[in-house]
Each structure stands twice: as C-alpha cells, then as structure tokens.
A and B are shown apart, each in its own frame.
Chain A
Amino acid sequence: MSEILNVQGLSAGYGPLRVIHDLDLIVSSGERVGLVGLNGHGKTTLFYGIAGLTGWQRGSILFNGNQIGRTRSQGPGRYTHHIVRQGLAIMPQGDEIFHGLTVEEHLDSGAFTKQAWKTRKQRKEQVLDLFEPLKQLLKTPVARLSGGERRMVSIGRGLMTDAKLYLADEPSLGLAPKIGKGVMEALLKIELSNSAMIIAEQNVALLEGKVDRVIGMHAGKLKGEASSALSMHLK
C-alpha cells in the first residue's frame, strides 16, 4: 500500500475567503474514500485545492511523491494541466462540460493526455460498457442531454485517463434517486489496483458499506474518520 496522496497542513481559499483550514489527509493506493459533509463546508474546495484551481493555497500536497502544492499567487488553474498529466482525474460537480461538443468528443477530451490519447478507442469502449445509455447518444451534442446523462458524460470523461487518483464531486447531486444510485454503482465498479478514489457526497446512505472509509468534513476541516461499518452511526 503506497501513498498516493499526502496532504499536510493545507489551507486554501479564494481572495480574502479561507475555506480550508490546516487540513491533513492521506490516501493510499487501492483505497476508496468517502468524503461526507454539507454544502459549503469545503469538499469542492479541497478537490480544487488538490488540482490547483483555488485562488490561493498554502501547505504541502504530495501526489505520487511529487510536490504539487505550492503558494499560488498567480491565478487559479496555472498548473492544473501539469497536475492532471501526473494522473489526476476530476469529475466535477455541476455543469463543467463543453456544451457544443458531442458525447464522443467529450470522451476524447477526457483522454487528452498524450499516453491516453493513443488508447482512447479501447478506453471509450470500457466507459461505454459502464454507462450503457450513452451508446446511442455518441453523436449528440451534450447540451441536449438530460441531467443524468450529462453526469454520466462528465464521470465518463474522468475515467478516460489512466488516473492514479479519481476525485468524484457529488456524483449523485440533483439526480433522481434511482439514476443517482446507478451513477454511484458505476463509480464503485471501477477497479482500483494501484489507484485511489475520493467520492464527495452529502448522502451518507449512498456510500454506506461500499467504500473503505468515510471521512466527515465540517467548516473546512476533516472531522473524525470512520471505517465503513461505523459510518451508520455518523448519520
């Protein structure tokens, strides 16, 4: 079990706003971690902090042994593509999609890193096996899809790379319970041999018994870790 992500003393925010306070987190390979917390308590900011998309940040982030956290006085997103190329896949919350691209082009754009681009055909098939309904929609612009289908596209896009760390931000948000469950199941089906996954979620019930451990997040800090069996009491 090697460490994939080691966050030490991370603070991050936007402008004068400090969202994450001195946060420590270690994720090892093969682990599937649930991150539970209410809206506005910093789940998304933690993910964006790891990806270098926050306005500023302080602290150390070791990803695969490489330091990717640094004091960013420059604008957000400056180094994000370098971090993504090191093997980070982000499945963002909300509508972070390209409205005019078709589903197929979307999946291609997920395999944008050089290594993944060469094998994108096989990857596409794997993703389509996971999300059956997308098969008929390959040539449709994403703007015309329903919410659930869009979420499948954005998660599928994240799965197109050979990532070491998958960050799934509220995959079931805003979806009908049944579809949300389907999306979650697809995420849980992904094999993590030497990679890891963090799933942020407000609904503990969806994660119960399915992830290796559950971490609560409150006011920019991690509160209490619990193994999966204990997560029932967290509710």
Chain B
Amino acid sequence: MDIGFILINATIVACIYGLIAVAVSITWSSLGLLNLSYGFIFSFAGYGAYLAARMLSDHPIVVLTAGILVGALGGIIICMLVFIPLHDKPNFTIRGMIGTLAISLIGSQCLLWYFGPKNKALPEVFGYWKVSIGNTVLTSDKIGIIVCSILMLVFVVLWMKSSRRGLEIRAMMMNPHAASIVGIGIRKTGFYVMAITGGMAGLSAVLLSQTYYIAPFSGLTPLIKGVSIALCGGLGSVQGAVIAAIILGITEALTSRLLGGQYVLITQFLVIITILIIRPRGIAGLLDKAREQ
C-alpha cells in the first residue's frame, strides 16, 4: 500500500511543479529572463478558470482551456510589461528578475483587491470515479492531473521539435546572437515563448486547484518550487527539469509519509542544496556559454 501511495503522490507533485519548472527553464534559456512572475500568472489563470466555470459552463474542457488561455494571456502581459521594454538594456538579467517579481507582487495584490481574500474553489474537473490497482486506489483527480500534465509536456516538446516556431525558440535557446543572424526577431519570439510557458503555468494552476483552493497568493509556493526545481535540474534544460521534478516529488512524498508534511520544505531544500554542491550547474545544465553574457 505504502509504496504505491508514495509513488502516486510523488508523480503528482512532480507533474504540477515540473510544468512550472519546465516553463521557467524554457524562458530562461531562450529569452535570458528568469521569470519570477509565474506566481501571479498562476493565480491569474486560476481566477480566469474560476470565472469561466461560473459564467460560461463548468464543463471540464471549458475550465481547462480557460486556465491555459488566461495563463497564456498573463504571459503575454508580462512580456509586454517587462521583456519588451527591458530586453536590450544593460543588466537585463537582474532587471528582468526584479521587474517580473515586482509585477508578480503587484498583480497578486490586484487580484486580492478585486476578488477579496476569500478562497475560491474550482469545480471537480475530472469527476468522482476511482480505479484500484492492487492495493492502491487511484482517484479520478490524480489520474487526471498526471494525464493532463504529461499530455501538455509532450505537446510542448513535440511542438518545439517539429514546428517552425519551435525551431525559432530552440535556436534562440542555443545561440541568441546567431539566431538574429538567420532572421529571427527577438521580440516576436518573446511573445511566443511567454504565451506557451504562461499556458503551462495556467494548466498547472487548474490542476493544483483540484487539491487546493485558489487564492491571490496561492501561486507563491508553486513559483518557489518551480524555480528551485529548474535551478536544480540545470537552468535551460527541459530534461533536467523533468528529472529534478521527479527527484523532488519523491522527496516530498517520502517526507510527508515518514516525517510529516511540515518538514517537506526542509528536506526538499536540503536535497536541492546537496545536488547543487555536488553539481553546481544542475543535473543536466548546459555547459556552453551561450547564455553567459
């Protein structure tokens, strides 16, 4: 019973935070922007899905799509407010980090001001059925979270591998200078990257809201975990982010099972620090100097 339960919980945590970590990683390596505004995008998308569920319909597809689209919109807003004005100024890395963090805080306060401090709940997107495998009971929301996030990740990776836009983003990730030489516009690519990563954060917001409520500051923990997972996996590497998400998911599930939920952050950061001491560039960090300016 125990092992199956721990594995399922680990997978769920890995899926949700992995989505954000991959988003952080892609933004960093293609735009050179350490986007700390996923906290805001996360709550923004959560409220978007909530409004869609109340006003349009609470059909699962409507709620999920609304979350993804509003998340993408949030990404585009961040892109217009931070990336476009700052990207060619000196010290963009630091300025972009401060700018996105500021917008994250301001945005969350705006959500608090508009929607009030009361938590909102999303409808159960995945229904109420359950499946048992051996001794482990799988509820519908757990299966739904795993399937949805894996589908999204596979979609993003395939899109980046096969389409013209994906080629554009990957070229930017590997060598921004050479990318402009072949005619790739940094600003336009910025919008695509921020929209698709915002969509990933939006989906993870809807998925997490199956267990937690939506609140103005509910994005803070996913942001911290997403960024630290991305750091641990090596900024800029999608595979690294996925591996780190799995490791930290197992840590979280094991800790809450063996020690208790209150120790989760402690053990998680101990694991992250250990990994970064042994391997400073992260699990699969890139060694090339494309992003060190």
Q: Is B133 an interface residue (CB 8 A)?
A: no
With A75-B88, A99-B288: A109-B180 Cβ-Cβ less than 8 Å: no
Q: Are B174 and A80 in contact (CB under 8 A)?
A: no
Cα separation A23 to B259 with both chains bound (whole Å): 73
Number of interface residues of A (CB under 8 A): 28
Docked complex Cα distance between A161 and B181 (Å): 12
Contact count A vs B, C-beta below 8 Å: 72
Contacting residues, chain A, for B164 (C-beta < 8 A): 112, 117
8 A Cβ contacts from A61-119 to B: 74-75, 77-78, 80-82, 84-85, 90, 92, 96-101, 105, 108-110, 112-113, 117
The contact string, 1 if C-beta is below 8 Å from chain A, for chain B 157-174, is 000000010011011001
B51 at the A interface (CB under 8 A):
no
In angstroms, Cα B238 to Cα A100, docked, is: 13
Interface residue? A127 (CB, 8 A): no
Binding site for A on B (CB under 8 A): 87-89, 164, 167-168, 170-171, 174-175, 177-186, 288, 290
- Chain B contact surface mostly: helix
Contacting A80 at CB < 8 Å: which of B170, B181, B288? B181
- Residue of B88, B167, B182 near A157 (CB, 8 A) is B182
Complex contacts, A90 vs chain B, CB 8 Å:
181
A81 touches B184 (CB 8 A): yes
Decide yes or no whether A199 CB sits under 8 A from chain B: no
Contacts of B178 in A (CB 8 A): 92, 96-98
**Is A165 among interface residues, defined by CB-CB distance under 8 A?**
no
Answer yes or no: A35 CB below 8 A from chain B CBs: no
Residues of B contacting A100 in the complex (Cβ-Cβ under 8 angstroms): 170, 174
Residues of A within 8 A of B170 (CB): 98, 100-101, 105
| Contact yes or no, A81 B175, CB < 8 A | no
- Closest B residue to A77 by beta carbon equals B180
In the assembled complex, A53 has its CB within 8 A of some CB on chain B: yes
- Which partner residue on chain B sits nearest A154 by CB separation? B178
